[in-house]
Amino acid sequence: MKLAWLFPGQGAQAVGMGKDVVDSSPAARAVFERADEALGEALSKLCFEGPMDQLTLTANTQPAIVTTSAAILAAVRERLPELPAPAFAAGHSLGEYSALWAAGALSLADAVKITRVRGEAMQEAVPPGRGAMAAIMNLGGDAVAELCTEAATPEQVVSCANFNAPTQTVIAGHQEAVARVRDLAKAAGGKAIPLNVSAPFHCSLMQPAQRAVERALAEVQVSAPTTPVLANVDALPKEDGEAVKKALVAQVDSPVQWVGTIEKLRAEGVTHALELGPGRVLAGLARRIDKDLGVLSVGSTSAIDKIPSFLGLEE
């Protein structure tokens, strides 16, 4: 058995996330208290009670998901002190910050502060209504990339934002160019689903946000990860703090290489993974990339109780 930890990104949020874990785990409760202190506000109350429209604001969602993932992992470590260390960690987009916290590269306070800046900057980078994202299904990633090249113009950009599964690629860019790719995809036998997002993430329109993240990261200490963390930009681990920072900056306007990440884990012999955080998105994507990778979604106390049997640790 070779283990990886996976951390979800934006879109996994839900009112009430982390509440039952906090109710049963002093370690998880301490994580939320530290996050509240770092931000100077009751992020925990927003996670536990909502309202949903405030929780889904990008500037709130990003630190909220990082904190929830950190709290769940803290509860896992408290409940299962003999849990084997992971061979790798990885996070989808925002989840890379959670993975880096788990690997000791970032403090929790810095992780929530930077993701607050990241969320605000991504929201402000593109005026409302100017950008769009869509999920293209039933076509390969290379085919979708070619459609983006065909649809883009010097004035209107569109490109692949997330390579989520072999036949699920998310695109982002100017609204009109995204619409053209959707039409081209349908004509090619694919399916196009518009995404209800506040901004076109992981494309060149995010360059103002990239600069804001770079400035924020320049102010904090990032250590060498104690566990290899696969970066979103190239599905490879970074060995020192400066390399980690560069990868996080590049990630803002580059596509998330999630297919490559799961394939890298499998090539390295990973057999089991824990999805640590709200939702079950990553488990679903993993099944579509490699059915032989077992993934347990751990977002509640009852899920934590399933870890020993999932990993074959029970006597």
Catalytic residues: 93, 202
Q: How far is the C-alpha of 149 from the C-alpha of 202, rounded, in Å?
A: 16
Q: How far is the C-alpha of 289 from the C-alpha of 198, rounded, in Å?
A: 28
Phi then psi for 192, rounded to 5 degrees? -120, 125
Sheet holding 229-230, edge to edge: 229-230, 88-91, 3-7, 272-276, 294-298
Q: How far is the C-alpha of 172 from the C-alpha of 184, rounded, in Å?
A: 15
Beta-bridge partner residues of 107? none
Residue with token string 């884990």: 265
Peptide bond into 63 cis (omega under 30): no
Phi then psi for 160, rounded to 5 degrees? -70, 135
Burial code (b: 16+ CB inside 10 Å, e: under 16) for 218-232 equals eeeebeebebbbbbb
